[in-house]
């Protein structure tokens, strides 16, 4: 249904241009019937404070009483404005809980109150005597704010709240946002009309001011609601922006693109070329290289399993025991010495020579002190009780608890604070929380660092160990570079519990974060072209295919911006088979498999070694790793993620070039 129909515009008597005067005139009419957020909504503002806050913008509260809304948080000014206007309250006198979600029943109440005030200048709606939200739902259905039929007592998605708000009030466009320009909201999205209306009105600009990603199908937070309500209530706070739809310049990083799909042509070569007509599908490339492999090792060799599941488990155990950056998370004790946790956090020092944020602004001493202070080291005692969690939304792990990072001047593609991507479904040990509550210091199986708190859900030991063990008998592994399910990005190698097969794929359990931060799960479907029951068989043909699926994907340092770097590329490919290797090239070179030092060898000796291995071979240079493909037409070929702004590609390899080691991906 089009928004022009669902808004019932003829009923509205007031437009955005009239709204500031209207807001002041009707402030005293809102009283305590306004926005109440505690389930049945028992915590309210006194009518006097609401009236005062709404009558004078910014003249109500000039400071916040909430200890979990620090001055440096992105949402501070929004929560302050909403609190000053009497639009929101805390969960207690000192706690706002900015990262908690809200229920869909609470969202429909907000929308119904907005609509009634626009139509009548007052709010008379009140909680019901039985089911508290029934009067709001009935009003919303009567006024076209909702079509009904919802399960109201569940956590609300961002897109669902946007739909309710866009139907509740008229929205004058201030931004020219072309259809289809929001990167993750195609026009066939269920709530596309509402989302685009809010973007065009400057109420929403997305989770990232650069890419304007919407993340429509993740849970909305109280901080986001505060920002949205402020902009809906006061048009002077709305945002003016545009979305760049042209080709990115050399200094801009392109937005995350869809991975190549079967039948789609991908360019297989860089300037060296793979063949005279090297534009092929990844399946074509797989068959070509499988044939080359079988010319060396015999017919059918590319389909022969290289390792059994038991051998893969032993391989993983060997790496976890031998590599200092790897860990067997199931063996982690419930408490750790506080000084050890401080030492882990303190291993990251402020970078030298990386002095600018993403926008090119110099990071001064005061900001550096604030960043270090946010690590909250003073709160760590003699012992630390760990918590277990599962990542529910792909996260950027950073060396400090911060949203931005440290960049060299003029290079916004290289964030020295970016450590690695942490895919959905990754189990993590939570060791600490930042001062602002927005970040968790966690250990994965191969890294430690800070991730946003909203990206993880706390769980019990049994749930945690299920994701650690990745049992091939009970789960499904994602084989596509990435797919989306219920708004969550699922990366190659993601393991999820399987409920059973469907006509075209699998029904799996997707981890989600409850309103209180606890673990929950929902059933979603994944197509058979994007996942496999258990693990993908570890064969050379499958290794080729998994690597070629990434062709054309833009390089992202530390997995930033949805991309892959050289070592992350290998991690993703081999997770498809249940093989968990170290994250960084230095550890991959030492512990990733059977290591041979090839630095002193000549070209002929190197060629002989490469050709003799039936296993995948990673070739290491200083700070870089490449996956060896084989020899064709007298040349050696590799596939790799090689530099910022460039796609994953196939390239020729000079056997005389500088190399450090050859690592066969085997025990």
User: What local confidence, expressed as pLDDT, does residue 25 receive?
Assistant: 33
Per-residue pLDDT tens digits for 419-476: 999 999 999 999 999 999 999 999 999 999 999 999 999 999 999 999 999 999 999 9
| pTM beyond 0.85, yes or no | no
CATH fold of the domain at 470-534:
SH3 type barrels. (2.30.30)
Asked if 80 and 106 touch (Cβ cutoff 8 Å), the reply is: no
pLDDT band at 68 (very low <50, low <70, confident <90, very high): confident
Looking at the chain, the whole-number percentage of residues with pLDDT higher than 90 is 61
Mean pLDDT of the chain: 84
User: What local confidence, expressed as pLDDT, does residue 62 receive?
Assistant: 59
Asked if 400 and 450 touch (Cβ cutoff 8 Å), the reply is: yes
Asked if 554 and 561 touch (Cβ cutoff 8 Å), the reply is: yes
Enter the tokens of residue 373: 């202070």
Per-residue pLDDT tens digits for 613-637: 999 999 999 889 999 999 998 899 9
User: What local confidence, expressed as pLDDT, does residue 50 receive?
Assistant: 26
CA distance linking residue 76 with residue 478, whole number of Å: 38
Q: What average pLDDT does range 140-159 have in this prediction?
A: 86
Q: What are the residues whose beta carbons fall under 8 Å from the beta carbon of 635, sequence distance 6 or more?
A: 272, 652, 653
Enter the tokens of residue 610: 């490469």
Start-to-end Cα distance in the chain: 58
User: What local confidence, expressed as pLDDT, does residue 153 receive?
Assistant: 78
Any idea where the domains of the chain sit in the sequence?
3-237, 266-307+540-664, 326-456, 470-534
Asked if 45 and 32 touch (Cβ cutoff 8 Å), the reply is: yes
User: What local confidence, expressed as pLDDT, does residue 540 receive?
Assistant: 98
- The listed range with the strongest mean pLDDT (43-52, 234-243, 527-536) is 527-536
Q: β-pairing, 661-664 with 594-597?
A: antiparallel
Q: What are the residues whose beta carbons fall under 8 Å from the beta carbon of 23, sequence distance 6 or more?
A: 54, 233, 234
For residue 341, give the 3-state DSSP assignment: helix
Sign of the CA dihedral with 498 first, then 503, 505, and 508 last? negative
Q: What are the C-alpha distances in Å from 662 to residues 176, 185, 641, 657? A: 53, 43, 17, 13
Report whether pLDDT(20) > 80. no
What's the angle, vertex CA 180, arms to CA 174 and CA 182, rounded to 5? 65
Within 10 Å of residue 13's Cβ, how many Cβ atoms? 11
CA distance linking residue 662 with residue 596, whole number of Å: 5
Cα Rg of the chain (Å, integer):
27
Per-residue pLDDT tens digits for 505-547: 999 999 999 888 999 999 999 999 999 999 999 999 999 999 9
CA distance linking residue 556 with residue 543, whole number of Å: 21
User: What local confidence, expressed as pLDDT, does residue 210 receive?
Assistant: 66
Q: Answer whether CATH 3.90.1720.10 is correct for domain 266-307+540-664.
A: yes
User: What local confidence, expressed as pLDDT, does residue 158 receive?
Assistant: 87
Q: Which of 143-157, 191-205, 243-257, 313-327 has the lowest mean pLDDT?
A: 243-257
Report whether pLDDT(556) > 60. yes
Report whether pLDDT(268) > 70. no
Query: What count of Cα atoms within 13 Å lies in the side-chain half-sphere of residue 362?
Result: 3
């Amino acid at each position: 249904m089009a928004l022009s129909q669902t808004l019932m515009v003829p009923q509205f008597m007031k437009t955005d241009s009239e709204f500031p005067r209207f807001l002041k005139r009707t402030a005293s009419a809102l009283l305590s019937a306004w926005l109440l957020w505690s389930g049945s909504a028992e915590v309210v503002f006194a009518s006097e404070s609401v009236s005062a806050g709404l009558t004078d913008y910014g003249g109500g509260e000039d400071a916040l009483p909430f200890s979990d809304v620090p001055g440096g948080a992105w949402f501070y000014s929004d929560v302050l404005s909403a609190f000053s206007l009497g639009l929101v309250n805390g969960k207690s006198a000192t706690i706002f809980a900015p990262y908690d979600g809200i229920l869909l029943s609470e969202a429909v109440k907000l929308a119904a109150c907005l609509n009634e005030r626009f139509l009548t200048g007052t709010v008379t709606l009140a909680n019901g005597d039985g089911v508290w939200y029934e009067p709001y739902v009935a009003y919303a259905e009567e006024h076209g704010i909702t079509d009904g039929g919802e399960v109201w007592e569940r956590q609300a998605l961002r897109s669902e709240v946007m739909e309710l708000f866009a139907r509740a009030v008229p929205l004058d466009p201030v931004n020219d946002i072309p259809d289809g320009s929001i990167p993750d909201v195609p026009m066939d999205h269920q709530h596309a009309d509402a989302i685009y209306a809010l973007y065009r009105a400057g109420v929403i600009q997305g989770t990232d001011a650069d890419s304007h990603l919407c993340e429509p199908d993740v849970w909305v937070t109280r901080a986001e609601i505060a920002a949205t309500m402020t902009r809906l209530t006061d048009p002077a706070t709305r945002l003016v922006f545009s979305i760049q739809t042209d080709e990115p310049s050399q200094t801009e990083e392109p937005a995350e693109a869809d991975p190549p799909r079967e039948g789609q042509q991908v360019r297989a070569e860089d300037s060296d070329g793979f063949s005279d007509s090297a534009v092929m599908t990844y399946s074509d490339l797989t068959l070509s290289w499988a044939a080359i492999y079988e010319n060396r090792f015999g017919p059918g060799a590319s389909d022969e399993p290289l390792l059994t599941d038991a051998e893969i488990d032993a391989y993983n155990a060997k790496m976890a025991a031998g590599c200092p950056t790897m860990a067997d998370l199931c063996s982690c004790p419930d408490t750790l010495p506080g000084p050890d946790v401080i030492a882990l956090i303190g291993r990251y020092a402020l970078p030298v020579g990386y002095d600018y944020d993403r926008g090119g602004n110099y990071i001064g001493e005061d900001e550096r002190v604030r960043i270090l202070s946010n690590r909250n080291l003073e709160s760590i005692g003699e012992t630390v009780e760990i918590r277990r969690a599962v990542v529910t939304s792909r996260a950027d792990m950073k060396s400090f608890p911060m949203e931005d990072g440290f960049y060299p001047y003029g290079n916004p593609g290289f964030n020295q604070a970016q450590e690695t991507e942490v895919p959905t479904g990754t189990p993590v040990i939570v060791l600490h929380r930042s001062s602002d509550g927005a970040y968790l210091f966690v250990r994965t199986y191969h890294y430690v660092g800070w991730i946003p708190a909203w990206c993880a859900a706390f769980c019990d030991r049994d749930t945690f160990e299920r994701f650690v063990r990745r049992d091939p008998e009970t789960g499904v592994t994602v084989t596509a570079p990435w797919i989306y399910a219920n708004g969550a990005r699922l990366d190659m190698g993601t393991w999820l519990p399987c409920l059973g097969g469907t006509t075209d794929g699998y029904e799996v359990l997707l981890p989600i974060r409850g309103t209180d931060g606890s673990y929950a799960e929902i059933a979603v479907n994944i197509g058979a072209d994007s996942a496999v029951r258990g693990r993908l068989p570890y064969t050379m043909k499958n290794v080729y295919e998994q690597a070629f699926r990434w062709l054309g994907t833009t390089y992202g340092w530390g997995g930033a911006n949805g991309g892959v770097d050289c070592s992350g590329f290998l991690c993703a490919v081999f997770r498809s088979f249940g093989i968990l290797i170290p994250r960084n090239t230095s550890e991959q070179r030492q512990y990733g498999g059977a290591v041979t030092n090839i630095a002193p060898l000549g070209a002929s000796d190197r060629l002989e070694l490469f050709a003799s291995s039936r296993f995948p071979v990673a070739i290491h240079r200083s700070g870089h790793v490449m996956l060896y493909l084989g020899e064709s037409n007298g040349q050696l070929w590799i596939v790799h993620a090689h530099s910022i702004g460039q796609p994953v590609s196939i390239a020729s390899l000079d056997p005389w070039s500088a190399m450090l080691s050859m690592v066969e991906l085997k025990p």
